[in-house]
Structure 1
Amino acid sequence: MKKTVLTTAVLTALVSVPSFAATVYKDDSTELKVGGRVEFRGDFIGSGGAEVDGTMEDQSRARLNLKGKTDIGNGLSAFGVYEAEQKTGKSEFKNRYMYAGVSADLGDFSVGRQDMAAVIISDMTDITEFSGVQQVIDSSSDKQDSVFAYRGEFDALQVQTTYQANSGDSQDKYSIAGLYSLPMGLDLGLAYSGGDVDKNNSEDQILGGVAYSLENLYLAGTYSQGSLNDSEDFSAYELVASYKIASKFTLAGLYTFQENDPNGAAKFDAVDGFELVGYYKLNSNFRTYLSYYMNQLDEEKDPQGKTVEGEDTLRLGVRYDF
């Protein structure tokens, strides 16, 4: 088994991102798969840093994805991916992914709404309910429109490059990333992303990551620094640990932090918190989880005395994947 495939399997077990889907059609040259999830998420105490007025803030959602692949000859295959999400209380579906491309021996070439290259590095620590701090700027984030991508795997090395061609003036962005997996379970990753925000501002981020997996244990850390625009810099880091205690139960911990440094003003913390979460998987389709996020930001209150920033969150989740 390739080490990159092994790492993907470990992350799938930890984060429980579904890598399976039902094959609804298949012949000698064409395949279509359908998958998705239905997920209840209830936030108690606080949600998004703000105090919950009543008992619970409902953050439930449902997702549906379609993945097609067909042989087009000469060692090439074409593919298409679509995924939509509907949140509770909303009548419309929102596109998460929508792209198509061609696979060859050298890798995959695709265009559409998809992840920027740096996401393969930020994913090293984005494994819990409140992780993901490294997607600070658009050029290093997932689910971006109008992205041209190349993604290739060469034994232990993954390489990705992406370019976002925006319709707005002076708003194009790019990202390049590499992830190398050593035989002893150690992964090393590096990414650089940047681009124009508008005619007068640009953004950039350099992101590094290291991860180690050994049987049921997974440890990882990421660090980045860069510019939100020409007048504000940032630095961010994220640390995670996960251990599969039993065949159905996994415990994970997170520390996430981001500091912003605007020109002519004092530095301030944009993100600062700890998380402890337990996942209980009854089988590959159904799981529950309980997460507690300890928000370390200073509390801010509105004139009525309600906390609008800095509140903790207790999240209960029940999820079915298909």
Structure 2
Amino acid sequence: MNKKLLALAVAAASVSTAASAATIYKDDTSTLNMGGRVEVRANFSDANKDQNANDNTYKDASRVRLNIEGIQKYNDDLSFYGFTEYELSDKATGGDDTDINTRYLFAGIQTTYGDLYYGHQDTSFTYLTNFTDVAENFSGSINEYSAATADRADNVLRYALSVDRLTVQAHIQGNSDADGAVASDNNGYGIIAAYKLTDALEIGAGWAAADGNANIIKGSNGNILTSDDTGKNQTYTAAVKYVNDGLWLAATYEGGKVSSTENDEDDFNAADAYAGYTFGDNNVNLTYNYYDTDTQKNLNMNNIGLEYARYFGDHATVYGAYMINLLSDSDAASDAQTDDQIQIGLRYAF
């Protein structure tokens, strides 16, 4: 695997610091790393018009991420671990105010019998969904509608074990929220297993479920406008990944039930695919995202992404992507759901 493909793999890892993170303290037993990124991004789409009083198709999607990682080796069989990362971005209302989002805040132990972590972190499902969530922009979107499968959720207790070619992860969560999930205050669980058939080919499968206690919609001042009981969210998945000599091919399938309220529990089918090739300091990739429910049309998606990224050493990256929306008006809840998007960005990681 060449350097640039390795950088992509590190970026897609379920728990990792930036590839260029700096060690700010180290002794015989402890290491403290600090990293992050400054990323300026511009998005162009008719979907942005609803957010602009002047009917502008442009939206600034810039952000800053800062993370700190600490590891203390207690003995040959036990280490303590902690990681936190925050994301800062301009408020959607404009001005100089900043939104601060806690992406990670967890700690745990790493042992010869597996690792155990608790806090705001990835769920066990993230290991498999990271097979396809590799592109800079339009990939890895189908798992965000349930806290039990989301990339990041709070109040998660996760166990992870890797032995030779086998990886097993499991998690439980209580009163848990996640970005993008259709319900909040979730109680759930999940388990996955993955096996490397060869050094290049890995397959995996998983199951997750969550009871959403409330679908809470808040007003601009934070007050609760509505709060409804929700039904069950159940997801099963199968995933495959092939990575070899600059080529990255992966696909994920998901199915099950999703609900926003107690009365709209729907069957869903979803698929996510990534095909990328890294040559020299360049990466080109093609992505596909598909999600379909019977009645909850606001969740549906069907799009193809085309992307090019150029890497300058270990720190700077420029990229551009075009998302072609294939979702029909009859399968969408709003016009904005069917609009194409263009996104360009420059990232400096440290």
Both structures adopt the same fold (TM-score exceeding 0.5): yes
Asked if 2 retains the 8 angstrom alpha-carbon contact of 1:189 and 1:208, the reply is yes
Indicate the residue corresponding to 2:39 in structure 1: 39
More off after superposition, 221-230 vs 275-284 = 221-230
Offset at 1:317? 0.7
| One-letter amino acid of the counterpart of residue 179, structure 1 | A
Aligned-partner SS, 1:183: coil
Offset at 1:49? 9.5
| One-letter amino acid of the counterpart of residue 197, structure 2 | L
Indicate the residue corresponding to 1:130 in structure 2: 138
2:239 pairs with one of 179, 187, 209:
209
Offset at 1:48? 6.7
Asked if 2 retains the 8 angstrom alpha-carbon contact of 1:50 and 1:307, the reply is no
Asked if 1 retains the 8 angstrom alpha-carbon contact of 2:4 and 2:281, the reply is no
| One-letter amino acid of the counterpart of residue 160, structure 2 | R
2:341 pairs with one of 305, 313, 319:
313
Asked if 1 retains the 8 angstrom alpha-carbon contact of 2:37 and 2:349, the reply is yes
Alpha-carbon distance in structure 1 between the residues aligned to 2:283 and 2:195: 26
Alpha-carbon distance in structure 2 between the residues aligned to 1:26 and 1:110: 22
The 5 Å alignment of 1:113-152 reads: 113-128=120-135, 129-135=137-143, 136-152=145-161
- Describe the shift of the 1:99–1:14 C-alpha distance in structure 2 as closer, same or farther (beyond 3 A): closer
The 5 Å alignment of 1:1-322 reads: 10=5, 12-13=7-8, 16=11, 18-47=18-47, 53-54=55-56, 56-73=58-75, 75-89=77-91, 90-128=97-135, 129-135=137-143, 136-166=145-175, 171-183=186-198, 185-198=200-213, 201-229=231-259, 231-244=265-278, 246-262=279-295, 270-298=300-328, 308-322=336-350
| One-letter amino acid of the counterpart of residue 243, structure 1 | Y
Aligned-partner SS, 1:208: strand
Calculate percent identity across the aligned residue pairs: 29
Asked if 1 retains the 8 angstrom alpha-carbon contact of 2:142 and 2:289, the reply is no
Indicate the residue corresponding to 2:220 in structure 1: none
Alpha-carbon distance in structure 1 between the residues aligned to 2:210 and 2:308: 38
- Describe the shift of the 1:233–1:41 C-alpha distance in structure 2 as closer, same or farther (beyond 3 A): same
Offset at 1:56? 2.0
Asked if 2 retains the 8 angstrom alpha-carbon contact of 1:165 and 1:173, the reply is yes
| One-letter amino acid of the counterpart of residue 272, structure 1 | N
Alpha-carbon distance in structure 2 between the residues aligned to 1:130 and 1:91: 24
- Describe the shift of the 1:207–1:32 C-alpha distance in structure 2 as closer, same or farther (beyond 3 A): same
Offset at 1:157? 1.1
For residues 106-160 of structure 1, give each alpha carbon's deviation from its aligned partner in whole angstroms, at most 9, with x where no partner exists.
1111100011101111111111211123313111012101011101110111111
For residues 267-309 of structure 1, give each alpha carbon's deviation from its aligned partner in whole angstroms, at most 9, with x where no partner exists.
8970000110001001111000010001112359xxxxx9533
Alpha-carbon distance in structure 2 between the residues aligned to 1:8 and 1:221: 23
| One-letter amino acid of the counterpart of residue 117, structure 2 | S
Runs of 4 or more consecutive aligned structure 1 residues displaced over 4 Å after TM superposition: 6-11, 14-17, 47-52, 167-170
Alpha-carbon distance in structure 1 between the residues aligned to 2:208 and 2:3: 23
TM-score w.r.t. structure 2 length? Answer: 0.80
More off after superposition, 153-162 vs 44-53 = 44-53
| One-letter amino acid of the counterpart of residue 250, structure 1 | N
Alpha-carbon distance in structure 2 between the residues aligned to 1:256 and 1:170: 27
- Describe the shift of the 1:238–1:48 C-alpha distance in structure 2 as closer, same or farther (beyond 3 A): farther
More off after superposition, 86-95 vs 178-187 = 86-95
Alpha-carbon distance in structure 1 between the residues aligned to 2:149 and 2:349: 27
Offset at 1:200? 6.0
Alpha-carbon distance in structure 2 between the residues aligned to 1:76 and 1:14: 26
- Describe the shift of the 1:296–1:84 C-alpha distance in structure 2 as closer, same or farther (beyond 3 A): same
Asked if 1 retains the 8 angstrom alpha-carbon contact of 2:47 and 2:337, the reply is no
For residues 59-83 of structure 1, give each alpha carbon's deviation from its aligned partner in whole angstroms, at most 9, with x where no partner exists.
0000000000112236211111000
Alpha-carbon distance in structure 2 between the residues aligned to 1:77 and 1:16: 23
| One-letter amino acid of the counterpart of residue 283, structure 2 | T
Alpha-carbon distance in structure 1 between the residues aligned to 2:149 and 2:24: 34
Offset at 1:261? 1.8
Alpha-carbon distance in structure 1 between the residues aligned to 2:49 and 2:286: 19
| One-letter amino acid of the counterpart of residue 300, structure 2 | A
Aligned pair count reads 308
